Structure formats: C-alpha cells, structure tokens
C-alpha cells in the first residue's frame, strides 16, 4: 500500500472520530499546526523519518511540541508511532485538512510559488480554481524558492506544475532523449 493511501486512511479514521466526538474544529486546528510545524522544520522531518530515533523518543518530542492538543490528535500521534508510521504525520495532517474542508463544502487549493502571492493574484487564482472545480475554495500559499518562478497548484489529488524548474527539467529530459 502506498504512503499516500495509508495517510488518507488514517486521516479518514481521525476525521470520523473527530466527527463522532464533535471535535472537528479543534482537531483541524491541531492538524494545521502540525502541518505548519513539520513544513517549517527540517530537523523535525529528519527526526520523524529517522529509523535510529526510537518511537518513544519521537512520541515524547511530539507530545512536548504539540502540548495542549486535542485528545484525538494526541491519540492519533500515538497510534502512528505504535504502527511505525509517524514519518507520514505531515501527510496525514494535510489529508485531514482536505477531508475536513470537503466536509464543510470547501476545498483547499495549495499554491506553491517562489514569492508570496499578492492580493490581486490570489483573487485570480481563486476565480480560476472556482471555475475549474465549481467549489468554493480557500488558498494556502507555500513559498519555495527552489521552483525559481511560476507556480504549482494542488487541489485534492490533482496537481498542475507550471514552475520554471519543472519546465527546465522537461527541456533537459527532451534534450537527453534526443541525443
């Protein structure tokens, strides 16, 4: 089973439990915090992915970092540690956010750019995404200078890569194939 499918299954289970306990908003807040924290910290990503660091050390570190989280979130982290799947915590958090937004009738469009989107560009992206999907969406802008320019748009399982680095890689691949 691929990591993505496993992450989706965990996210669905967490969403079902949060819905049952009427804690959707609290768990979503925790998942957004988890996703932001892991995205911002290379050290934390390395620790979570490391087979050398014990599961109990990972559990203790995460409990300290996300102190004050909802019981469902804490239980989810423990479950991922117990099942040796803690490396996919970020992906589970992102999938949960997407599923919860869909449950609310909204979608989340993740836009990765080399520089922050200004208000005018954000409005244009929102309008285009609404035309494509027919749904109301919110935009989350992630900054990644390594894409050089352009953008990467991800809505649910769909991704459109219009980054300069992707175009350069395509040219490089075409050039290599023609030799």
Q: What is the number of domains present in the chain?
A: 2
Q: Determine the Cα–Cα distance for residues 107 and 136; give it in Å rounded to an integer.
A: 6
**Of the residues 54, 71, 101, which one is the last residue of a structural domain?**
101
Q: Determine the Cα–Cα distance for residues 138 and 130; give it in Å rounded to an integer.
A: 10
Residues 29 and 74 in one domain: yes
Q: What's residue 166's pLDDT?
A: 92
> pTM for the complete prediction?
0.65
Q: What's residue 2's pLDDT?
A: 60
Residues 113 and 129 in one domain: yes
Residues 92 and 117 in one domain: no
Q: What's residue 89's pLDDT?
A: 93
**Of the residues 82, 101, 120, which one is the last residue of a structural domain?**
101
Q: What's residue 1's pLDDT?
A: 46
151-155 sheet: strands from edge to edge: 136-143, 106-113, 151-155, 158-161
Residues 114 and 171 in one domain: yes
Coil, helix or strand at residue 52: coil
Residues 69 and 14 in one domain: yes
Ranges of residues in the chain with a pLDDT under 70 are: 1-3
Residues 86 and 114 in one domain: no
Tell me the residue range of the domain where 149 lies.
106-178
């Amino acid at each position: 089973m691929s990591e993505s499918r496993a992450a989706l299954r965990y996210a669905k289970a967490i969403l079902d439990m949060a819905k049952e306990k009427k804690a959707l908003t609290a768990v979503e807040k925790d998942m957004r915090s988890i996703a932001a924290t892991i995205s911002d910290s290379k050290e934390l990503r390395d620790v979570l992915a490391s087979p050398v660091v014990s599961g109990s050390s990972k559990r203790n570190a995460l409990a300290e970092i996300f102190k004050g989280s909802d019981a469902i979130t804490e239980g989810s982290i423990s479950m991922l540690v117990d099942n040796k799947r803690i490396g996919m915590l970020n992906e589970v958090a992102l999938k949960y956010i997407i599923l919860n937004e869909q449950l609310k009738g909204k979608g989340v469009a993740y836009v990765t750019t080399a520089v922050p989107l200004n208000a005018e560009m954000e409005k244009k992206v929102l309008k285009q995404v609404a035309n494509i999907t027919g749904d109301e969406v919110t935009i989350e802008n992630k900054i990644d200078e390594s894409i050089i320019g352009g953008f990467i748009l991800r809505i649910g399982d769909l991704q459109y890569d219009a980054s300069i680095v992707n175009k350069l890689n395509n040219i490089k691949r075409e050039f290599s194939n023609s030799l």
